[in-house]
Structure 1
Amino acid sequence: MNVDVTRGGLLVGLAVFGVIVYELRTVLDALGLSLPIVPYMAGVFVLAGLAVWLVVLSGGWRTGPDEAG
């Protein structure tokens, strides 16, 4: 399996996912369910590490345009 992903695309995707989860945490806090920030931050770092590990296992980063033509 080859995952065609750029570093920038992965980082933007992780940032968007992190903001969505953080906003969900904020909404839950407004509803009275207070969640600590440290497990959230640890989860985001674990997710980022897992995503990078999966990309490296599946063939690495795309470094340039495809030369097939």
Structure 2
Amino acid sequence: MLVKSIEKRVQELNGNLELSLDDIFYTVCQEYNLNAVVIEEALGCKCPFALIGFITTLKSADPGNYIQYKY
């Protein structure tokens, strides 16, 4: 469910020609409380489409390191 929601949001933002892929990556991470810095380090890039694949692989792993908790 989370992956589909993120994928849909990436597609929506990608339709906005004023946003770069970096902007989309950071926007989606912020909206879904994902730790963009840690995910960027794990991916080696700031590609929102790579983010979708990365989140898909987390379904069976512990996503705790990638979620940004709000205090």
TM-score (norm 2): 0.34
The structure showing larger relative contact order (alpha-carbon pairs under 8 Å, at least 6 residues apart) is 1
Larger-Rg structure: 1
TM-score (norm 1): 0.35
